[in-house]
Every structure is written in structure tokens, then in C-alpha cells.
Amino acid sequence: MDTQPGLRPCYRHPGTETGISCTRCEKPICPACMISASVGFQCPDCVRNGSGTGHAADANQPRTLAGGRVRTDDRLVTKVLIGINVFVYVLVLVLGERFVSEVQLIGRAFEPVLGENVGVAFGEWYRLLTSTVLHQEPWHILFNLLGLWVIGGIVEPELGRSRYALLCLLSGLSGSVLAYAVAPENQPSLGASGIVFGLIGAWAMLDRRLRHDMRPVLLWIALSLLMTFTRPGISWEAHIGGLVGGAVVAYAFLHAPRAHRNLVQYGACGLLLLIEVGVVMARTAALT
């Protein structure tokens, strides 16, 4: 890409050229990163670290690429999500198979461990979410936590906490909904893979928005899908559902017009949620 005279790539978004620099550290900043100060503009790092000239009240709240607030700890939600997965795994180790039977995703089946009929079709909709933080095997939770840490560290800083949390929630739910709708009714499913695949989809949308080299994320997607369809016992429905759900949500977050950003972003999330509720209701009607 040719660079016009006097323009430099933004230090946070290399695909965007700018002629504006931070008045404090002189790093190039694009319109998405510049924060108005008493004199000129400052970058998010200077405002975040309190190194700007003047008080915090002199500068507007810095924003991420998707419009969220820039935070000092830009992996907080990722850490909380990892903590939840670890806590639930400890419960599995302590409480055993009965606990797994009570919270894993299953459409409709007789559960011998519990001695009763269970499943989403019997009104246990909570399983669509509890299953997304549930693991039994050490390799399973370690693999998913690694994905959360690595890819979450890429996506969370660009979305902001609330949008990132919503992305994870809808990605996991999208994977569960597709598994409920397509998989055999008595097939159990569990794991944070739907969320991880949602983050992969968001990563792809982020690189596309920033005009980064897409080859690394496309390679990651290809390898992830290869493992999905070649290893036995993998819920491909949860993976594909999470991937598509994460990509859709991230696209809405990253491409919403600034003038109506919140309306478009949260409206798209609400629409996706309504679609998922409709799918669950239709599948439940078919099973009962």
C-alpha cells in the first residue's frame, strides 16, 4: 500500500493512515483513537496512563475501535471467563458425573444418573449456557482456555469490555442453539469451544476491518475446522454456530455507523438473540 506524503499509519490500527499525532508522545493516531484534550489530541495510552497534560476531565473518554471504553486492564473479561471455566471444572471434579448430567447440553433424553427425563425440550433452557463453561477432560479445558487467552487478548482490547462480553455470550449461545437444533436429541454436548470459535470469527472480522494480513487468521480457521471434522466426539454444530455467531456480532460492532453506533450494534445483537430463541422454540415444539 502506497503512503501519501505526510501520512503515517496509526500506531494502533496500521491499516489506517493519519496526519495527526498525540500531543504528548507524538505517536500517529487515527480518528478512532484520537481523544480531544485541552490542546490538540492525545492517544489512548497517554490518557489511560494519566500521562497527558492536564487532568482526566480535560480529555474525553478514550474509545476502542468498536466504541467501547479503553481500560487499563484490557483482558479483564477474558480473565473472568477463564476463572468461571476453572471454577466449574473444579465443581466437576468435586461433584462428579451427576453435576455434569445436570448442566450439560442435551435436547431430550432419559438420564440414568438422575433417573429422569432431562433436556432443553423439557424446559431446561439454562443448559444452553451452562454447557458453554463445562468441561470434563483436562486436555479439553486446557485447549479452550488457551484459545480464550490468546484470541481474547486480540479481540477484547478492540471491542471493549461490555461488547466483548456480549460477543462471548452470543457466540456460546449460537453454538448451543445450532447443536440443539441439528444434533440428535440425545447427544450431549459441553465445552467453551463455541465461544472460542466465536472469537476466531471476531478476529477475522477485526483483521478485515483493519486491513491486516488475513493469512494467519484464515490458517487458524482452517486448522480449527480440520480438527473439528476429523476428530471423533467433536460437536461440529457448536463450533460452526459459534464461528458464525461471533463473526456476525463482530461485524455489527466494527461496521456500525458512528452516528447510530449503539442502536445498530445492540439492535443486531437483539435480532440475533430473537432468531436463536425462535430456533429453540421451533426445535422444542418438534421434539415434544
The 3 state secondary structure assigned to the chain is CCCCCCCEECCCCCCCEECCECCCCCCECCCCCCEECCCCEECHHHHHCCCCCCCHHHCCCCECCCCCECCCCCCHHHHHHHHHHHHHHHHHHHHCHHHHHHHCECCCEEECCCCEEECHHHCCCCHHHHHHHCCCCHHHHHHHHHHHHHHHHHHHHHHCHHHHHHHHHHHHHHHHHHHHHHCCCCCCECCCHHHHHHHHHHHHHHHHHHCCCCHHHHHHHHHHHHHHHHCCCCCHHHHHHHHHHHHHHHHHHHHCCHHHHHHHHHHHHHHHHHHHHHHHHHHHHHHC
The pLDDT value recorded for residue 84 is 97
Q: Could you list the residue range(s) of the whole structural domain that residue 4 is in? A: 1-62
Number of domains in the chain: 2
Query: Looking at the structure, do residues 136 and 259 belong to the same domain, yes or no?
Result: yes
Does one domain contain both 38 and 96?
no
The whole-model pTM stands at 0.80
What's residue 242's pLDDT?
Answer: 96
% of the chain surpassing 90 pLDDT = 64
pLDDT (average), residues 51-58: 42
Q: Does the residue 68 lie in any domain?
A: no
Res 226: pLDDT: 93
pLDDT at 171 over 80: yes
Average pLDDT of the chain, as a whole number: 88
Q: Are 165 and 37 found together in one domain?
A: no
**Across 139-143, 180-184, 232-236, least confident range:** 232-236
54 with 141, same domain: the answer is no
151 and 283 both lie in a single domain: yes
Q: Are residues 158 and 250 in the same domain?
A: yes
Co-location of 146 and 33 in the same domain: no
